[in-house]
């Protein structure tokens, strides 16, 4: 009996096998028994054990050792765990050992991603990787996301990275124009199929992708089978998504009171029913009607395994998600099969295929229902007594401009976007000689899109649609990429050489057909065939193609894994440029020095230290077409007429970005703490963009000439990224690990070629809200006036700068012009650069910056026996948000057009006149202007009054997992393991921002286009809301 | 075996090289559109390159700016609840509709310049010289018309004859008003020589369109070149000369019935000299969208009809013969008029229009269609809605209409104006005239409207009023004021400042079938309530402000204007 055996005291020192340094905090346990200890600062331990027992030594980053007790002194040397330092990661056109990397590259593993509830891939990356700034453009299910790797590398073009999914290259696209603009082109990927994401950031890594790599490269590897027993896993998750916090808009008595006050000051008739607000009920709470708690569920089944020679991974997924706002939803199903086989010693073949379908409901975004819910007045019922939808009354002048009932519209309008995607590839690897491999691969991507937009006939108050209209858009796009690659690896002595050379050709095509039709016999059959055929017409038809050819090569050399050097070059030929400018060359070189490998290196607590330096050039070819001007057709009185569509620019050339990067990797206490730090300096020249021409060049109107695509100017990005990964506590039962990352960038525009000082981007659909890019500053700062509060007295007006009339003369000081209670603007400048005592265009200045100073994420994972708890915080600091929603909904003049207001609008400046005729403000603390039609521009000028600090810390996710104990599972043989997870997402945000949510990405809506997508403005966007999820995974 | 493997290498490396793509692989012109260099190869293609200069490029101006600037700002019509920048004469550089107008005029100019240069550059051997000449003249004509509107609305603006030269040039200055008018008359004379008497296709401009426009330009230039308020006689004579030529030689004639000028289909009738040629299409930008905003209700429209609060001003109503002050308080008008232009321009309560369908509810609550009777409303403020250019529902227009898409054309120049130009040019700097031709030309327009002939000597005010009533809601009034402003700014401003633009109610004596109306100013609509009836027009706000974003993006527009011909 074991109990009869005598306990003895065993002691010893645990050291690092590589250098003999003592290891602190090594876990020392008795196998199969309770109790244990950890080593002290000198690496010593003492433990009472039964004779004949086995002691287990484990330490993060080291291989575990089990030693049977034979002596009373057991000194142990632990070897580095090659699985940590020897970890092999994907790099461009190959793989590399992580320790051998000479470039900045961050990775996110499936284990981390699975902690959060992710409908789409980019959501999974948020907060996980340094240097990657991710903002969600819309909380709409499946909605689009903005990803910026290492700052802003383009003024008007896309700043999205290149995604390489198992070899299929997909340039990230920002938005499409029109009713499907809020959708996300990468939403078809099932995040559960992804095994690993590598974000290439350093120029040495990205230059290998040459012309498409300026914005960074995201390498995505999907899961593959491992030889051995088949693994069968079924996963089900169910989530409840909560409505957002309620914006404080007026209820019916408050609104009626405001209408009374408004009319008593500004004139106009108050409707009879509003005259006595005290007798009114609360009216309709439109937010309550619009938002709901909604469900999301996901089923995932995967099967993987294989023999020595062949492996497989098969999976299927079905996800369905309702949005918290009516008129939104997302569902996806997808299947994947990844196969690998090695039929001969010298031959390997692989195949990966996936198919998915997504269906997005987009009407909540395209119909702007959230804004309308905030603005529709409370006296209008959702439904009238007779069951019809309520709406503004035609007989009331102000009601004629009231928004249309958002509940009705969300229910009535169909805006469904269906995408089907086939993505796959095959490759053949042939070993020609030892170390020399030839790989040929063909990767392809086929996408189809169908979007249906149907507006039925309806009668909602004044809004009467007598003619049902429909548009049916179909698009197909294809992509293929054929690559041949030779790869040679050779080691002799301490010299390690890795050579790669490749040729690649890719071609893509698109074809679109759209049809519009109207006048339907019934609202129930949504098909072009059901409309009045005489009204049918084509819309949005077109097709085109693009192509690229590339030669690329890379040399990696290292000496004893101590001195590492990598050089690469890529030459890209692109269809986007004329034959003289067609080819661009993108070289890069990088080196690293692993000081810790030097014989003289003796910093015992820092077991790994690597310094890196790299420089390289990447490019951007834009979207093509800039060298031609096509003739754009339209109907005229005499058949089809044609107008040139744009100014062509045959001299267009490559945009190029030169990046210098220094970095270091260090590991402490045997990898218990790992840090990675990088600093970079990027200069982008020959920026490809649409020239900012004044409207007098005929570029702004309907039928106008598109501005030419030009190489206009340069900009620079300086930035840094820091990652700290640590194991804070590691005992037998309890483990605490952290992953902290922080990064920042500063973008500065250096020049615009034509001497232009600034370029504006105006959102005409938001009152001409404008963002400006000025030389010497960051791109797209908010443009507006600075305010000095509200005029408190006539004297103050007479002693201040005030706006001018059309003739440049000061507006008079009176009620109809500038008066007490009006906004006081700061006199910033004049025509000669000095303040001139009047407010005019010279006083427009930048009033906000949409870019953060720093941002990142912080993950803590606690493991205790079968439980694990993970907490992810994401944060952003220093970015501004223009709260457009709040500005609009605080403007009392909205009453004229039948709009509701925020309750804070009650605090408008109230004027009182004393016995001496002096006017002052009774609620003197207010910063909302008086009610007036005056010429001061209180509500038409954008000011810093509505710019808010967008900094936040968000408890992005907290999840608690539990693995059912083996002792419990082993009672049967059918199920191998069960894991349960409960998690909550977006539950708490620490911020000063007063809108729904400070996470504001780029504007998405009907009017967004990739050349004009406002950043950092909150127009009542679809917010991210809390999600509570239960998840079960069963392995069979 | 080793040899075998080396062969493999040879094969693969050669594959790498051989798979290099051909040059064609990377040469990809747009596949779904013809490019400019391949166009302009036949007569038909050249003319197809100017046909959109008649619609699409004008769209953004025609859409809303045309009536907001021409008629709201001019005082003909108003909207008490919106578009206040125009109604109250206090536009800022941010107004989106005004910006749309600015953008549109320069789009007309840019695309006209592009047509001129591309025809010169790309026209193939198969294109006949006369077609080249006609197409280029059409483009120059459009450009001149856009500049006429720009200079009259904004004052000094830059003349651009070649946009491509300016792609990298940010130094261009505005040009002086006087040199712009010199440019315009030079241009139009040359265009008149180049255009044929019979256009390539019906509805396109011809020689008479250009001569008519030239008459208009000379009349204006006479004011631009005035000295001490005295108009330049030489240019007055030229206006008279060209207007008379068009009246007597063009073969054009006034339609007998004024109302039928605006009853669908009226396009390209014999009174028309130049029209924007809208077509019915669901494509945005080639149809007439204006009726959508002016039609008073969806009852007479096609899912649109958003003009419920847009109507005639007090000022224009009292200009119709027979509608006179009533009572002594100055706040009422009463009467009826024989002037058929009132009913054809505005809808009075009870007015009946057989050509327009109206959705109504029957007494039993059923939806039904009747011939339009403009409804009566007993409130203390009502709208005298817009009729001109409103042609009703799709059913009234051969099915050719949908929301914001209407096929009916917009007059840019019609013969009636030639008669009034002649009379005004003949009057010239005199206080009155009894010239026989002038009298008969004036009366041709006056009596066509159903009124008796005028026998008193003609004065400026008579001609100005005739133009106001004749062209109300044709975006003319503000331009007429601009004309006057060139040589008599005081008078132009005093006309504006004396207009009543406030709320009132129109009451029929009986409904339906009224015989006369009483108009009463709305009592509560007073300055004491923050309301107003009159505006303050000054030399400071007479011209429109250049859009703020344009000034910010092109600071060169803030430089002093230069003479176009002094460089």
Is the pLDDT at B357 greater than 50? The verdict is yes
Task: Verify whether the Cβ–Cβ distance B110 to A768 is below 8 Å.
Answer: no
Task: Verify whether the Cβ–Cβ distance A503 to B91 is below 8 Å.
Answer: no
Which pair of structure tokens corresponds to residue A948? 């808010």
Instruction: Give the model confidence (pLDDT) of A728-759 as tens digits.
Output: 988 878 989 999 999 999 999 998 866 667 78
Task: Verify whether the Cβ–Cβ distance A397 to B170 is below 8 Å.
Answer: no
Task: Collapse the DSSP code of B3 into the 3-class scheme (helix H, G, I; strand E, B; otherwise coil) and give the result.
Answer: helix
pLDDT score of A730: 84
Instruction: Give the model confidence (pLDDT) of A423-460 as tens digits.
Output: 999 999 999 888 899 999 999 999 999 999 999 999 88
**Whole-number Å distance between alpha carbons of B271 and B262:** 12
Going by C-alpha positions, the residue among A850, A892, A845, A792 that lies closest to residue A1018 is A850
Helix (H) or strand (E) holding A258: helix A252-266
Check: CB of residue A824 under 8 Å from CB of residue A789. Answer: yes
Instruction: Give the model confidence (pLDDT) of A1001-1028 as tens digits.
Output: 777 776 766 667 788 999 888 888 899 9
**Whole-number Å distance between alpha carbons of A432 and A205:** 27
Which pair of structure tokens corresponds to residue A762? 């105006």
Tell me the nearest-neighbour CA distance from B317 into chain A, angstroms: 23
Mutate to test the interface with A, among B45, B47, B56, B538 (most CBs of A within 10 A): B56
Which residues on chain B are in Cβ contact (under 8 Å) with A693?
167
Query: Given A545, A575, A841, which is nearest B552 (Cβ)?
Result: A841
Check: CB of residue A468 under 8 Å from CB of residue A520. Answer: yes
**Whole-number Å distance between alpha carbons of A644 and B38:** 12
Tell me the nearest-neighbour CA distance from B194 into chain A, angstroms: 21
Determine contact: A831 vs chain B, CB below 8 A. yes
**Whole-number Å distance between alpha carbons of A1002 and A1021:** 10
| Residues composing chain A | 1036
Which residues on chain B are in Cβ contact (under 8 Å) with A516?
282
**pLDDT bracket for residue A254 (50, 70, 90):** very high
Return left, alpha or beta for B324; rule: phi > 0 is left, psi -120 to 50 is alpha, else beta: beta
Task: Verify whether the Cβ–Cβ distance B303 to A465 is below 8 Å.
Answer: yes
Determine contact: A573 vs chain B, CB below 8 A. yes
Which residues on chain A are in Cβ contact (under 8 Å) with B303?
464-467
Instruction: Give the model confidence (pLDDT) of A812-829 as tens digits.
Output: 898 878 999 999 999 998
pLDDT score of A402: 85
pLDDT score of B98: 95
pLDDT score of A884: 93
Is the pLDDT at A2 greater than 50? The verdict is no
Q: What average pLDDT is seen over chain A? A: 87
Determine contact: A844 vs chain B, CB below 8 A. yes
Check: CB of residue A127 under 8 Å from CB of residue A743. Answer: no
**Whole-number Å distance between alpha carbons of A1010 and A150:** 19
| DSSP 8-state symbol, B390 | -
- The residue that leads in pLDDT, A840 or B208, is B208
Helix (H) or strand (E) holding B405: none
Mutate to test the interface with A, among B1, B13, B14, B16 (most CBs of A within 10 A): B16
Site of tokens 């149809």 = B287
- Average pLDDT over every residue of A879-899: 90
Determine contact: A9 vs chain B, CB below 8 A. no
Task: Verify whether the Cβ–Cβ distance A702 to B282 is below 8 Å.
Answer: no
Half-sphere exposure of residue A766, counting CA atoms within 13 Å on the CB side?
A: 32
Which pair of structure tokens corresponds to residue A357? 């379908």
Strand ranges in A461-534 using DSSP code E only, listed in sequence order: 463-465, 469-492, 495-518
Instruction: Give the model confidence (pLDDT) of A647-665 as tens digits.
Output: 888 888 888 999 999 999 9
User: A463 to chain B: nearest residue by CA?
Assistant: B303
**Whole-number Å distance between alpha carbons of B176 and A616:** 53
Going by C-alpha positions, the residue among A23, A30, A27 that lies closest to residue A9 is A30
Strand ranges in A493-630 using DSSP code E only, listed in sequence order: 495-518, 537-538, 542-559, 563-574, 583-594, 606-620
Is the pLDDT at B2 greater than 50? The verdict is no
**Whole-number Å distance between alpha carbons of A899 and A890:** 10
Helix (H) or strand (E) holding A881: strand A880-882
Task: Verify whether the Cβ–Cβ distance A701 to B60 is below 8 Å.
Answer: yes
Is the pLDDT at B239 greater than 90? The verdict is yes
pLDDT score of A820: 93
Determine contact: A635 vs chain B, CB below 8 A. yes
- The residue that leads in pLDDT, B356 or A129, is B356
Which residues on chain A are in Cβ contact (under 8 Å) with B199?
none
**Whole-number Å distance between alpha carbons of A703 and B49:** 12
**Whole-number Å distance between alpha carbons of B522 and A577:** 66
Between A541-555, A803-817, B396-410, the lowest mean confidence (pLDDT) is in A803-817
Site of tokens 């690597």 = A610
Task: Verify whether the Cβ–Cβ distance B557 to A638 is below 8 Å.
Answer: no
Is the pLDDT at B263 greater than 50? The verdict is yes
**Whole-number Å distance between alpha carbons of A547 and B25:** 7
Task: Give me the helices (H) in A299-454, please.
Answer: 363-366, 369-375, 406-412
Query: Given A400, A438, A628, which is nearest B12 (Cβ)?
Result: A438
Strands A919-921 and A911-913, by their bridges, are antiparallel
Order of all β-strands in the sheet with A769-774:
A758-763, A769-774, A781-784, A845-848
Which residues on chain A are in Cβ contact (under 8 Å) with B558?
831
Half-sphere exposure of residue B349, counting CA atoms within 13 Å on the CB side?
A: 20
**pLDDT bracket for residue B145 (50, 70, 90):** very high
Percent of chain A with pLDDT over 90: 42
Determine contact: A575 vs chain B, CB below 8 A. yes
**pLDDT bracket for residue A82 (50, 70, 90):** very low
Which residues on chain A are in Cβ contact (under 8 Å) with B555?
757
Tell me the nearest-neighbour CA distance from B16 into chain A, angstroms: 6
Is the pLDDT at A498 greater than 60? The verdict is yes
pLDDT score of B9: 59
Between A21-25, A629-633, A871-875, B160-164, the lowest mean confidence (pLDDT) is in A21-25
Determine contact: A354 vs chain B, CB below 8 A. no
Task: Verify whether the Cβ–Cβ distance B283 to A467 is below 8 Å.
Answer: no
Going by C-alpha positions, the residue among A660, A672, A676 that lies closest to residue A609 is A676
Percent of chain A with pLDDT over 70: 94
pLDDT score of B80: 87
Is the pLDDT at B184 greater than 90? The verdict is yes
Q: Please count the other Cβ atoms lying within 10 Å of the Cβ belonging to residue A979.
A: 17
Q: A residues 664-723 near B, CB within 8 Å?
A: 691-705, 708
pLDDT score of A123: 75
Tell me the nearest-neighbour CA distance from A1032 into chain B, angstroms: 49
Query: Given B25, B284, B399, which is nearest A549 (Cβ)?
Result: B25
pLDDT score of A107: 84
**pLDDT bracket for residue A154 (50, 70, 90):** confident
Is the pLDDT at B287 greater than 50? The verdict is yes
Instruction: Give the model confidence (pLDDT) of B195-227 as tens digits.
Output: 999 999 999 999 999 999 999 999 999 999 999
Is the pLDDT at A387 greater than 50? The verdict is yes
Tell me the nearest-neighbour CA distance from B248 into chain A, angstroms: 28
Contacts of A846 (CB under 8 A, 6+ apart): A772, A774, A777, A781, A782, A783
**pLDDT bracket for residue B38 (50, 70, 90):** confident
Q: Please count the other Cβ atoms lying within 10 Å of the Cβ belonging to residue A33.
A: 12
Which residues on chain A are in Cβ contact (under 8 Å) with B168?
753-754
Is the pLDDT at A3 greater than 50? The verdict is no
Task: Collapse the DSSP code of B139 into the 3-class scheme (helix H, G, I; strand E, B; otherwise coil) and give the result.
Answer: helix
Which residues on chain B are in Cβ contact (under 8 Å) with A702?
56-57, 59-60, 104, 107, 284-285
pLDDT score of B4: 53
- Average pLDDT over every residue of A898-904: 91
Task: Verify whether the Cβ–Cβ distance A642 to B92 is below 8 Å.
Answer: no
Tell me the nearest-neighbour CA distance from A535 into chain B, angstroms: 8
**Whole-number Å distance between alpha carbons of A417 and A364:** 13
Going by C-alpha positions, the residue among A591, A507, A506, A588 that lies closest to residue A553 is A588
Determine contact: A465 vs chain B, CB below 8 A. yes
pLDDT score of B530: 55
**Whole-number Å distance between alpha carbons of A23 and A670:** 8
Check: CB of residue A643 under 8 Å from CB of residue B58. Answer: no
Task: Verify whether the Cβ–Cβ distance A634 to B539 is below 8 Å.
Answer: no
- Average pLDDT over every residue of A76-105: 77
A741 phi/psi in degrees, rounded to 5: -135, 145
Site of tokens 């999974």 = A124
Torsion B516-B522-B526-B531 (CA) sign: negative
pLDDT score of B301: 93
First to last CA, chain B: 84
Q: A residues 505-564 near B, CB within 8 Å?
A: 505, 507, 516, 518, 534-535, 537, 539, 541-549
- The residue that leads in pLDDT, B29 or B34, is B34
User: B302 to chain A: nearest residue by CA?
Assistant: A466
pLDDT score of B1: 43
**Whole-number Å distance between alpha carbons of A831 and A846:** 17
The whole model's pTM is what? 0.79
Task: Verify whether the Cβ–Cβ distance A698 to B109 is below 8 Å.
Answer: yes
Query: Given A501, A548, A708, which is nearest B167 (Cβ)?
Result: A708
Task: Verify whether the Cβ–Cβ distance B92 to A544 is below 8 Å.
Answer: no
- Average pLDDT over every residue of B428-439: 96
Residue B128's alpha-carbon distances to A211, A768, B40, B45, B264, in angstroms, are: 47, 47, 11, 12, 36
Instruction: Give the model confidence (pLDDT) of A48-59 as tens digits.
Output: 888 778 888 887
Per-residue buried b or exposed e for A528-567, using 16+ beta carbons within 10 Å of the residue's own CB = eebbeeebbeebeeebbbbbbbbbbbbbbebeebbebbbb
**A-B contacts at Cβ under 8 angstroms:** 324
**pLDDT bracket for residue A288 (50, 70, 90):** very high
First to last CA, chain A: 37
Which pair of structure tokens corresponds to residue A634? 């339209």
Determine contact: A436 vs chain B, CB below 8 A. yes
């Amino acid at each position: 009996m074991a109990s009869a055996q005598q306990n003895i005291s065993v002691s010893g020192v645990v050291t690092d096998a590589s250098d003999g340094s003592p290891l602190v905090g090594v876990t020392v346990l008795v196998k199969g028994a309770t109790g244990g200890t950890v080593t002290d600062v000198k690496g010593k331990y003492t433990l009472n054990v039964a004779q004949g027992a086995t002691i287990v030594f484990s330490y993060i980053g080291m291989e575990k050792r089990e030693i049977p007790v034979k002596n009373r002194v057991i000194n142990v040397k632990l070897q580095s765990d090659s699985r940590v330092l020897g970890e092999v990661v994907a790099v461009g056109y190959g793989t590399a050992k992580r320790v051998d990397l000479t470039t900045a590259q961050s990775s996110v593993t499936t284990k981390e991603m699975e902690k959060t509830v992710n409908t789409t891939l980019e959501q999974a990356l948020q907060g996980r990787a340094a240097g990657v700034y991710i903002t969600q453009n819309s909380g709409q299910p499946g909605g689009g996301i903005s990803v910026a790797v290492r700052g802003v590398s383009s003024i008007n073009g896309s700043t999205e990275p290149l995604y390489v999914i198992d070899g299929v290259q997909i340039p990230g696209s920002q938005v499409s124009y029109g009713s499907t603009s809020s959708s996300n082109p990468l939403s078809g990927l099932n995040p559960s199929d992804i095994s690993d994401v590598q974000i290439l950031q350093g120029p040495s890594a990205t230059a290998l992708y040459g012309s498409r790599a300026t914005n960074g490269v995201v390498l995505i590897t999907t899961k593959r089978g491992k030889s051995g027993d088949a693994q069968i896993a079924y996963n089900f998750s169910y989530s409840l998504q909560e409505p957002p916090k309620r914006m404080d808009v007026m209820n019916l008595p408050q609104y009626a009171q405001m209408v009374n006050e408004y009319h008593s000051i500004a004139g106009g008739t108050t409707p009879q029913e509003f005259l006595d607000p005290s007798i009114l009920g609360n009216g309709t709470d439109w937010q309550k009607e619009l938002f709901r708690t909604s469900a999301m569920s996901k089923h995932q089944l995967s099967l993987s395994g294989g023999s020595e020679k062949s492996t497989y991974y098969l999976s299927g997924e079905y996800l369905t998600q309702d949005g918290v706002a009516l008129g939104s939803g997302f569902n996806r199903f997808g299947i994947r099969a990844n196969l690998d086989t090695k039929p001969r010693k010298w031959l390997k073949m692989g195949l990966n295929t996936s198919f998915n379908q997504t269906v997005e409901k987009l009407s909540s975004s395209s119909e702007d229902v959230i804004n309308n819910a905030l603005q529709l007045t409370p006296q209008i019922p959702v439904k009238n007594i007779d069951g019809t939808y309520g709406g503004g009354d035609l007989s009331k002048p102000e009601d004629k401009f009231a928004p249309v009932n958002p509940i009705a519209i969300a229910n009535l309008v169909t805006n469904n976007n269906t995408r089907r995607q086939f993505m796959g590839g095959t490759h053949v690897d042939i070993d020609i000689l030892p170390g020399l491999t030839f790989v040929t691969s063909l990767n392809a991507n086929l996408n189809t899109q169908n979007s249906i937009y149907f507006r039925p006939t309806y009668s909602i108050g004044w809004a009467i649609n007598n003619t049902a209209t429909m548009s049916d858009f179909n698009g197909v796009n294809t992509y293929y990429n054929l690559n041949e690659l030779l790869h040679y690896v050779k080691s002799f002595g301490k010299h390690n050489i890795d050579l790669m050379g490749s040729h690649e050709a890719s071609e893509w095509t698109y074809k679109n057909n759209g049809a519009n039709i109207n006048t339907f016999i019934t609202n129930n059959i949504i098909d072009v065939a059901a409309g009045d055929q005489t009204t049918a017409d084509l819309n949005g038809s077109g097709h085109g193609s693009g192509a690229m050819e590339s030669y690329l090569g890379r040399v990696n050399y290292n000496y004893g894994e101590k001195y590492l050097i990598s050089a690469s070059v890529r030459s890209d030929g692109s269809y986007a440029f004329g034959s003289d400018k067609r080819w661009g060359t993108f070289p890069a070189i990088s080196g690293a020095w692993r000081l810790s490998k030097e014989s003289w290196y003796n910093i015992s607590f820092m077991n790994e230290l690597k310094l890196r330096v790299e420089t390289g050039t990447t490019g951007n070819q834009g979207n093509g077409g800039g060298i031609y001007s096509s003739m754009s057709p339209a109907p005229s009185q005499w058949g089809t007429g044609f107008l040139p569509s744009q100014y062509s620019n045959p001299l267009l050339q490559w945009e190029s970005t030169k990046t210098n990067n220094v970095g270091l990797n260090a590991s402490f206490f045997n990898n218990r703490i790992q840090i990675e730090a990088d600093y970079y300096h990027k200069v982008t020249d020959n920026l490809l963009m649409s020239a900012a021409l004044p409207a007098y060049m005929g570029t702004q109107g309907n039928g106008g000439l598109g501005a030419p695509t030009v190489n206009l100017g340069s900009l620079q990005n300086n930035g840094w990224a820091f990652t700290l990964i640590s194991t804070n506590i590691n005992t037998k039962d309890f483990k605490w690990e952290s992953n902290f990352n922080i990064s920042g960038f500063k973008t500065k525009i250096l020049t615009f070629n034509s001497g232009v000082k600034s370029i504006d981007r105006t959102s005409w659909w938001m009152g001409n809200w404008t963002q400006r890019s000025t030389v010497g500053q960051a791109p797209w700062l908010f443009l507006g006036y600075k305010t000095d509060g509200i005029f408190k007295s006539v004297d103050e007006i007479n002693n201040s700068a005030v706006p001018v009339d059309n003739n440049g003369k000061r507006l008079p000081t009176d009620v109809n012009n500038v008066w007490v209670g009006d906004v006081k603007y700061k006199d910033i400048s004049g025509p000669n650069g000095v303040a001139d005592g009047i407010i005019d265009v010279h006083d427009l200045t930048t009033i906000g910056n949409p870019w953060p100073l720093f941002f990142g994420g912080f993950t803590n994972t606690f493991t205790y026996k079968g439980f694990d708890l993970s907490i992810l915080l994401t944060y952003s600091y220093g970015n501004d948000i223009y709260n457009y929603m709040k500005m609009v909904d605080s403007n009392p003049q909205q009453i004229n057009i039948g709009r509701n207001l925020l309750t804070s609008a009650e605090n408008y400046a109230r004027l009182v006149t004393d016995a001496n005729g002096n006017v002052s403000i009774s609620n003197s603390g207010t910063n909302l202007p008086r009610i007036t039609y005056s010429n001061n521009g209180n509500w038409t000028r954008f000011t810093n009054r509505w710019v808010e600090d967008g900094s936040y810390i968000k408890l992005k996710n907290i999840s608690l997992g539990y693995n059912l104990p083996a002792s419990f599972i082993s009672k049967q043989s059918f199920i191998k393991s069960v894991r349960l997870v409960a998690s909550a997402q977006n539950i708490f945000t620490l911020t000063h921002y007063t809108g729904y949510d400070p996470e504001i990405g780029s504007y998405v809506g009907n009017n967004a286009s990739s050349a004009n997508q406002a950043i950092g403005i909150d127009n009542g966007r679809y917010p991210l809301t809390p999600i509570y999820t239960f998840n079960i995974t069963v392995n069979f | 075996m080793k040899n075998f493997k080396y062969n493999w290498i040879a094969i693969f490396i050669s594959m790498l090289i051989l798979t290099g793509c051909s040059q064609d692989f990377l040469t990809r012109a747009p596949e779904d559109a013809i490019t400019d260099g391949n166009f302009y190869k036949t007569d038909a293609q050249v003319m197809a390159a100017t046909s959109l200069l008649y619609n699409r490029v004008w769209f953004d101006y025609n859409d809303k700016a045309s009536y907001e600037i021409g008629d709201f700002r001019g005082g003909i019509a108003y909207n008490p609840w919106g578009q206040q920048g125009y109604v109250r004469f206090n536009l800022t550089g941010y107004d989106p509709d005004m910006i749309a107008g600015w953008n549109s005029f320069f789009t007309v100019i840019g695309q006209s310049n592009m047509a001129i240069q591309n025809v010169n550059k790309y026209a193939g051997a198969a294109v006949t010289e006369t077609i080249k000449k006609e197409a280029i003249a059409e483009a120059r004509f459009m450009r001149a018309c856009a500049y006429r509107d720009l200079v009259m609305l904004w004052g000094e603006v830059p003349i651009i004859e070649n946009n491509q030269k300016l792609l990298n040039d940010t130094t261009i200055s505005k040009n002086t008003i006087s040199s712009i008018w010199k440019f315009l008359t030079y241009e139009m004379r040359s265009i008149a020589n180049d255009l044929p008497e019979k256009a390539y296709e019906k509805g396109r401009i011809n020689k008479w369109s250009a001569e008519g426009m030239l008459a208009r330009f000379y009349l204006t230039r006479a004011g631009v070149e005035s000295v001490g308020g005295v108009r330049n006689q030489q240019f007055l004579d030229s206006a008279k000369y060209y207007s008379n030529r068009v009246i007597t030689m063009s073969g054009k004639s006034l339609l007998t019935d004024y109302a039928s000028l605006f009853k669908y289909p009226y396009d390209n009738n014999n009174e028309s000299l130049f029209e924007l040629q809208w077509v019915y299409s669901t494509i945005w930008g080639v149809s007439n969208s204006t009726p959508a905003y002016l039609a008073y209700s969806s009852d007479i429209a096609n899912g649109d009809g958003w003009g419920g609060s847009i109507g005639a001003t007090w000022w224009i109503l009292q200009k119709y013969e027979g509608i006179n002050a009533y009572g002594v308080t100055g706040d009422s008008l009463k009467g009826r008029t024989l002037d058929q232009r009132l009913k054809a321009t505005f809808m009075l309560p009870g007015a009946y229009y057989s050509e327009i369908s109206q959705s109504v509810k029957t007494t039993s609550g059923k939806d039904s269609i009747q011939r339009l009777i403009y409804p009566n409303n007993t409130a203390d403020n009502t709208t005298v809605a817009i009729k001109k250019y409103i042609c009703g529902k799709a059913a009234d227009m051969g099915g050719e209409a949908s929301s914001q898409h209407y096929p009916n054309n917009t007059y840019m120049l019609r013969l009636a104006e030639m008669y009034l130009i002649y009379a005004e040019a003949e009057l010239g700097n005199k206080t009155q005239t009894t010239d026989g031709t002038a009298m008969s030309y004036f009366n041709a327009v006056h009596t066509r409207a159903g009124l008796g002939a005028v026998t008193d000597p003609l004065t400026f005010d008579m001609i100005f009023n005739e133009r106001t009533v004749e062209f109300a809601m044709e975006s003319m009034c503000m331009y007429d004021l601009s004309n006057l402003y060139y040589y008599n700014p005081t008078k132009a401003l005093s006309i504006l400042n004396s207009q009543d633009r406030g709320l009132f109610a129109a009451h029929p004596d009986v409904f339906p079938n009224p015989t006369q109306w009483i108009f009463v100013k709305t009592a509560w609509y007073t300055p004491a309530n923050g309301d107003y009836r009159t505006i303050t027009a000054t030399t400071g706000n007479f011209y429109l402000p250049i859009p703020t974003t344009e000034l910010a993006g092109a600071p060169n527009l803030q430089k002093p204007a230069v003479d176009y011909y002094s460089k």
